[in-house]
Amino acid sequence: MRFITARLITPNKTTMETYQITVGEIIIDVVRKNIKNLHLAVYPPDGRVRIATPLHINDESVRLFAISKLAWIKKHQTEFQSKTHPETIEYLSGENHYFQGKSYILNVIYQNSPQVEIRNNQYLDLSVKPGSDKEQRQKVLNSWYRQQLKREIPPLIAKWEKVINVNINEWGIKIMRTKWGTCNIQDKRIWLNLELIKKEPICLEYVIVHEITHLLERSHGAKFQALMDQFMPNWRTYKEKLNVLLPKM
């Protein structure tokens, strides 16, 4: 995450409002709340922009502030996007790959029985058939990731169905470029991003709670946020943790 702060003085108020503005081609999430400083942040992996503003600063002032920082915003969006190109990963020995928030050194082994094992809490042994290319190595590793994620999801859904008092009819896993999860409210079906298995377990739990809560409230407005505050008071912290770019080592 990249951020800057502008110091301002704000009266003592307790309300909070969230909305979006568009500056050029950039969509900016604006959070108006009881704070003293105005914060501008750009988040990985896709360069999402957020401004947190004191309650007394008007919309036009927020827009002018964003315009004045456009060059800074674009610089860091480009930086994040350059770090997430899939072609930088070759699935070769020595690369760092992640599992449940921890970094492991990839060790590629060529043998006839494809499998993945964690060794010494440090290495991720990827066994593939001799002659396997990048796509085949990736397929074996992603298959293992999928198996691990499938084990983690059911108990979390069961737990939160009881807490939120709703039932999920179906869930699935797929690769998504711009979302961590989605919810089909009509069919009561949720989809979860395969990449979640690389994040800390609490991040997966947060996304599940987020998507299940959509069965009670479709939008991301004040009602949705109030429900999230009720079910998972620290959800904002987990959201920030989820959106931190996993570093290359």
Q: What is the tens place of the pLDDT at every residue in 13-72? A: 446 788 888 888 788 989 988 888 888 988 876 788 889 999 989 989 999 999 999 999
pLDDT value at residue 196: 97
Same domain for 59 and 116, yes or no, is no
Residues pairing with 118 in the sheet: 124
C-alpha–C-alpha distance, residues 211 and 183, integer Å: 6
Residue pair 7/37 in contact by the 8 Å Cβ criterion: yes
C-alpha–C-alpha distance, residues 110 and 122, integer Å: 19
Same domain for 228 and 207, yes or no, is yes
pLDDT value at residue 86: 46
Q: Which residue type is seen at 149?
A: L
Residue 88 falls inside a structural domain:
no
pLDDT value at residue 249: 33
> Which of left, alpha, beta for 98 (phi over 0: left; psi -120 to 50: alpha)?
beta
pLDDT value at residue 15: 62
* Residue where a domain terminates, one of 34, 50, 83: 83
C-alpha–C-alpha distance, residues 151 and 84, integer Å: 27
End-to-end CA gap in the chain: 17
pLDDT value at residue 207: 97
Look up the CATH number of the domain holding residue 144: 3.30.2010.10
For the chain, the average pLDDT equals 87
CA 9 from centroid of its chain's CA atoms: 32
Same domain for 167 and 76, yes or no, is no
Helices 201-213 & 235-242, crossing angle to 10 degrees? 120
Residues of the chain scoring pLDDT < 50: 5-14, 84-87, 247-249
Strand order in the sheet with 115-119: 96-99, 102-110, 123-128, 115-119
Q: What domain range is 52 assigned to?
A: 2-83
Closest CA to 62 of 86, 94, 33: 33
pLDDT value at residue 45: 66
Q: Which residue type is seen at 61?
A: S
Same domain for 231 and 123, yes or no, is yes
